[in-house]
Chain A
Amino acid sequence: MNYLYHLIIYLSVYIIVAMSLNIVTGYCGLLTLAHAGYFAIGCYVYALSSLVLGWGLIPSMLLAFSVAAIFSLAVSIPSWRFKGDFFVMSSLAVQALLFSLLYNWSDSTTALGTWSNLTNGPAGIAGIPKPVIFGIKFDTLSGIAVVSVILTVVWIYVSALLLSSPWGRLLKAMRDDELAARGLGKNVRVAKTQAFAIACGIAATAGVIYAAYVSYVDPSIASLDESILMLCMVIVGGMGNIRGPVVGALVLIAIPELLRFADIQNEIAPNIRLMVYGLLLLAMMHFRPQGLAGSYRIE
């Protein structure tokens, strides 16, 4: 039963992440490799606000959303000028910068949460408290699973509303022909900035749930491998609609669990898993470039 709860929590965290990434890659047509950085910002904001300030889940989530939205300017401003491979490169630069910030903003002589030791560096932050909502503590697995499922449903609903609204259509128009969208008097830069702020904020709230569940964060969650995994979900599942990323998260979370039953040695299991991800990316590009359930092919 605990295993099932664990799966539910992981699945909902990654569904939220994949869905938020879809707003940027699927609706704006911009492949970003910095998303794990924003997920990690959510984790660290929750870790610090709950440990140092003693905040509950909902205020921490709001804070994480706003911090990530502010930091999202680092990827949205390059997107004003760059598309394609060059945008991928600048998002990679942002990812490397965020990672080294989390990795290096530490000082072993001062206490955690002060200005000179904000992230505790490579050692990470341990003992993050379980989520508290309005004074009720959710410290069982089932409790956290319920919270994460509710958050997932809320975000799916909100993003479905957003993306089917005129704003969502503007994003699609901008993706398909930016010049035409500008010619119709749409402010493309503002739309891109908004899209990135919302997407990065949503990813950060998923990070909050993740940190509250695992109760330990270290800079490796902001690594490039994590970003690639997130991109993998969106590409495999498909982009440009709501169901694509959900399918992608399901498939990519299901693969390692299925491999557990395949009687593979424990030492090489993570490598086999990553290899399957690589193979999936390759196969998708050849046989189904729009992903399993998507409606948009990357440019």
Chain B
Amino acid sequence: MQSLANGAITGLTIAVLALAFTVVYLPTRIFHIALGGVYTVVPFIVWTALRQHYPWPVAVIIALSAGVTLSLLCELLNHSYLDRKQASSGAHLVSSLGIYIMITQITVIIWGNESKALRTGLDENVIYGHITLTRAQVISAIISLIILVTFYAWLRFSTLGLRFRALADNPVEFSLRGYNLRLFRWLAFILAGFLCSISSLLVSHDVGFDPHAGLASLLIAIVAVIIGGRGSFFGPVIGGLLIGIIRSEVVWFLSARWQDAVTFLLLAVFLFIYPNGVCGRKRRLEAEA
């Protein structure tokens, strides 16, 4: 039970990050690798703000707005230009990878290579029956749940959410019907930056952070997206929970060093047997690639 609970909580943070990726991937088909850079830099901004004796909420707001701005800048300065040139999806992927490398290296130059932590001392334990959780874990579970529920409520019940789903379904028809495609793309990148920053802050508050975790975390989230089903907004959450639980069970039954191997083995198995994921609609992959 204990490892299941730990896994589910990690899974929720993975789900939020996976959702951040999907929010850009579904409407624009861009592999937003630069989100890994956002993921890397956000906790460092909170850390610096706290060192300057800003109160917690202010530090978090500064960091969130920085994350959102960074993600939006990727669209404004890179993807929108590439899109105008009708560049291939490979070009988007490679340029996004370039941005990720730059953000990470700038972070290392400014803040150094060492791991840091957002809180000091031991965390308080909270005990529910047979399960012992730390306070950071409880906070991260509650905030992730709130974020996920709010997002789905927005997507399902608001007019903007309906338009966003329409955009994800068919961007060309969406713009033909007179909606401003560019504004909605901005919205997608803003949402991605926000969700990614939240996930990054929750994880780094729990276990600390270093400048090289960005891409690895994002890749796990992308695996979650593929496993969950990349054609749907719900896929990432199911995939995230699944990956989180499996990774923590691997630690329990095998060893922490096989975590990544098992994660990517799972990806390989899914790609072969069930390439559309748990929530995916049936479609031939060749038709899409």
Contacts and interface: CB of A to CB of B under 8 A. Distances in A.
B257 A90 contact: no
A115 interface: no
B226 A299 contact: no
A268 B258 CA distance: 32
B62 interface: no
Interface string B92-116: 1111011111101110110000000
Given A84-B89, A275-B102, A275-B105, A92 B264 contact: yes
Nearest to B215: A224
A53 interface: no
B225 to A, nearest CB: 10
Interface in A78-120: 78, 81-86, 88-90, 92-94, 96-97, 99-101, 103-104
Interface string B234-275: 000000000000000000000001101101110110011001
A93 B93 contact: no
A231 B98 CA distance: 11
Interface stretch (B80-88, B147-155, B175-183): B80-88
A272 B105 contact: yes
B78 interface: yes
B98 A90 contact: no
A89 B93 CA distance: 11
Contact of A100 (B91, B98, B257, B267): B257
A282 B93 contact: no
A298 B88 contact: yes
B289 interface: yes
B267 A93 contact: yes
B28 to A, nearest CB: 12
Interface magnitude class on chain A: 35 or more
Given A85-B31, A285-B95, A286-B95, A97 B264 contact: yes
A78 B102 CA distance: 30
B53 to A, nearest CB: 28
Contacts of B89: 84-85, 299
B260 to A, nearest CB: 5
A86 B289 contact: yes
A280 B101 CA distance: 11
Contacts of B268: 78, 90, 93-94, 97
A289 to B, nearest CB: 6
Contact of A228 (B101, B261, B263): B101
A23 B86 CA distance: 26
A1 interface: no
* Residue of A103, A224, A298 with most chain B CB atoms under a 10 A cut-off: A298
B222 interface: yes
B271 A271 contact: no
Contacts of A282: 78, 95, 98-99, 102
A278 B102 contact: yes
Given A86-B289, A104-B257, A281 B101 contact: yes
A298 B91 contact: yes
A281 B267 contact: no
Contact of A271 (B109, B223, B257): B109
B82 A100 contact: no
Given A93-B267, A96-B264, A100-B258, 5 more contacts: A86-B271, A100-B257, A274-B104, A277-B98, A278-B102
23 contacts: A31-B94, A81-B285, A83-B286, A85-B31, A85-B289, A86-B285, A88-B93, A92-B219, A96-B219, A104-B257, A104-B261, A268-B109, A272-B105, A278-B99, A279-B98, A279-B102, A281-B98, A284-B94, A285-B95, A285-B98, A286-B82, A298-B91, A299-B88
Interface of A: 31, 78, 81-86, 88-90, 92-94, 96-97, 99-101, 103-104, 224, 228, 231, 235, 268, 271-272, 274-275, 277-282, 284-286, 289, 297-299
